[in-house]
């Protein structure tokens, strides 16, 4: 994670934590803040969200408890590999149609309401499958950082969740920076370098082109 990117993101989010309107749940009636972090595959969204949560949580802990900031990934809503095979979508894993989009939107709605314990799923890059119920989000956290590729898609059901974000941040990273890491990621699931590069330049970069069409819909663009 580049320090200047983390600092820029912090500068955007910190004012929201001090000025969010007094509605919804939370300590003293202050409203929970939801921030969407968007970008193409390999842009470093999860790294940024996790680093930002780790940096801000201690500052918020006095009023909001030790789990004051939580990072929640959209990738937990990947359909299983078995279901992708059944649907004939195994070679397009990572495209919008390979996610449980309605389930993701429902999760964001529950996180926005903030009135119950929510268990969010995550994606394992060891198992290459989603794992349910691994991220507990109680009613207390002040800041929820939701990261993923398709938060700003104009299509249903994705677009339904857009009004629930207090801020959306697009992380703009050139392909020359993203692709090597994506190749390494694909090699970690057993592909040789040639097959990994073929996957990245095909499937991943097709998805990246779609994500990049949503760049203008973000509130702020951060460039690496």
pLDDT for res 28:
45
CA dist 146 and 111 (Å) reads 10
Cβ count near 20 (within 10 Å): 17
Domain chopping of the chain, boundaries = 3-223
**Integer angstrom CA distances of residue 174 from 138, 201, 209:** 36, 13, 11
pLDDT for res 62:
80
Chain centroid, CA 94 distance in Å = 13
pLDDT for res 22:
33
pLDDT digits (tens, 9 = 90+) for 183-211: 998 998 889 999 999 999 988 999 999 99
Structure token pair of residue 122: 């995550």
Structure token pair of residue 17: 């934590």
pLDDT at 10 over 80: yes
Please tell me the CATH code under which domain 3-223 is placed.
3.40.50.300
pLDDT for res 30:
65
pLDDT for res 59:
87
Q: Which helix (H) or strand (E) segment is 221 a member of?
A: strand 220-223
pLDDT digits (tens, 9 = 90+) for 114-145: 999 999 999 998 899 999 999 999 998 999 99
């Amino acid at each position: 994670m580049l320090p200047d990117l983390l600092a820029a993101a912090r500068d955007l989010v910190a004012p929201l934590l001090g000025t969010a309107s007094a509605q919804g749940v939370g300590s003293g009636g202050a409203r929970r803040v939801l921030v969407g972090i968007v970008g193409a595959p390999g842009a470093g969204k999860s790294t940024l969200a996790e680093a930002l949560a780790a940096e801000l949580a201690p500052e918020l802990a006095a009023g909001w408890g030790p789990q004051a900031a939580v990072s929640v990934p959209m990738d937990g809503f990947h359909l299983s590999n078995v279901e992708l095979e059944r649907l004939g979508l195994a070679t397009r894993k990572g495209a919008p149609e390979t996610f449980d989009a309605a389930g993701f939107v429902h999760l964001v709605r529950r996180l926005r309401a903030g009135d119950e314990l929510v268990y969010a799923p995550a994606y394992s890059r060891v198992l290459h499958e989603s794992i349910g119920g691994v991220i507990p989000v109680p009613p207390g956290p002040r800041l929820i950082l939701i990261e993923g590729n398709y938060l700003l898609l104009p299509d249903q059901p994705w677009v339904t969740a857009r009004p629930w974000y207090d801020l959306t941040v697009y992380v703009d990273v050139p392909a020359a920076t993203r692709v090597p890491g994506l190749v390494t990621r694909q090699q970690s699931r057993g592909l040789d370098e040639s097959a990994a590069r073929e996957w990245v330049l095909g499937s991943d970069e097709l998805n990246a082109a779609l994500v990049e069409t949503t760049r203008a819909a973000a509130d702020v663009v951060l460039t690496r």
